[in-house]
Amino acid sequence: MPPSSNTPPFVPQQPAPAPAPVPMQPPKKKWPWWVKTLIFIAVIVVVLIALYWASIVVVSLNAARGNEPVVSNVQAAQTAANAAATGGDYSGVCNNDTVKSDLAAAAQAGTGDPTQGGCYATKTTYILVAALKSGGLYCVDSTGNSEVVDDFGGTAILCKDLPAHQSTQ
């Protein structure tokens, strides 16, 4: 029979594409309990070492922070000594009230013992010294030098003439 003009021609259906193959996942490796324990202990040891070093840094910073009032008071005494000098004559700076009060404040901020430090002046130079909380003595002189020293004999005319401080930390 002849095809009718009202019926559409036969169109074959395309088969659906096959899904992409899923790659196989390797099975998850389970660590034995003793490996997990060793890893945990190693992490704890690393954390403890880091905390140990951090505590050393904090202690060092606290010691340095404790010296700030001493240093600032000695530097204030140095400023007062330079102002008290007349025409380059430093012989009277140790008798200046401001220098005395600044050195007393430095001694109080340091060890609290005013005998650990002091002032020595000649016509051409002076030296100011105060004890630090962390050990040693903070020294400034008329040349502008400042350093931490171990001993103040009372007759040195410059900080560099005093023995350098050897840290015990």
pLDDT tens column, 92-150: 888 889 888 888 888 888 877 777 778 888 888 888 888 888 778 888 888 888 888 77
- Select the more confidently predicted residue: 56 or 152: 56
The pLDDT, as a whole number, for residue 70 is 86
The pLDDT, as a whole number, for residue 14 is 78
The pLDDT, as a whole number, for residue 48 is 95
Residue 45 lies in a domain: no
Confidence of residue 3 (pLDDT cuts 50, 70, 90): low
The pLDDT, as a whole number, for residue 155 is 57
Residue 139 lies in a domain: yes
Q: Edge-to-edge, what's the strand order for the sheet holding 146-149?
A: 117-121, 126-131, 137-141, 146-149
CA distance 85 to 99: 11
Total length of the chain = 169
CB 122 within 8 Å of CB 91: yes
User: E-strand spans in the chain?
Assistant: 117-121, 126-131, 137-141, 146-149
Residue 106 lies in a domain: yes
Mean pLDDT confidence for 146-159: 69
Residue 40 lies in a domain: no
Classify residue 5 by its DSSP letter. T
CB 147 within 8 Å of CB 139: yes
Mean pLDDT confidence for 49-69: 81
Distances in Å between the Cα of 97 and the Cα atoms of 7, 84, 103, 128 are 123, 10, 10, 14
- What percentage of the chain exceeds 70 in pLDDT? 81
The pLDDT, as a whole number, for residue 37 is 94
CA distance 51 to 91: 52
CB 106 within 8 Å of CB 116: no
Confidence of residue 168 (pLDDT cuts 50, 70, 90): very low
Residue 90 lies in a domain: yes
- Into how many domains does the chain fold? 1
Mean pLDDT over all residues of the chain? 80
Residue 31 lies in a domain: no
Residue 57 lies in a domain: no
The pLDDT, as a whole number, for residue 156 is 58
